[in-house]
Homo-oligomer: A and B are copies of this chain.
Amino acid sequence: MTEKTIEDIDRLIHEPARLLILCNLYVVESADFVYLQNQTGLTRGNLSSHMSKLEEAGLIEVNKEFVGKKPQTLLRLTDAGRQALSQYGDTMTDLLDGIATE
């Protein structure tokens, strides 16, 4: 384990719901709100609230589009979001080095 203090863990990203949203977005170009709800197991209200926080922080972009007559809310990581998540991943990987059994 590399030494870490409480300052090293980015709480905006570490919060479980937001972490799941970001990890899901990391592996796709963009993702629909309903898809993310299914992936994360979050309620509509929770996902919506965390989406706003991540957008305000500049980690994701949110766009509303129509697919045919259906409105869709599309989320995607910004470059800053991708970088912040990578850095968080490094911090956690360092911290958990030697602890995971896999």
Interface residues of A (CB under 8 A from B): 1, 3-7, 9, 11, 14, 16-17, 19-20, 23-24, 26-27, 39-42, 85-86, 89-90, 92-96, 98-102
Contact = CB atoms under 8 A, between A and B. Distances in A.
24 contacts: A1-B23, A3-B39, A4-B20, A5-B20, A5-B39, A6-B40, A9-B16, A9-B19, A9-B20, A14-B14, A14-B16, A20-B95, A23-B99, A85-B99, A86-B100, A86-B101, A89-B101, A90-B102, A92-B96, A92-B100, A93-B93, A93-B96, A93-B102, A94-B102
Contacts of A86: 99-101
B41 A99 contact: no
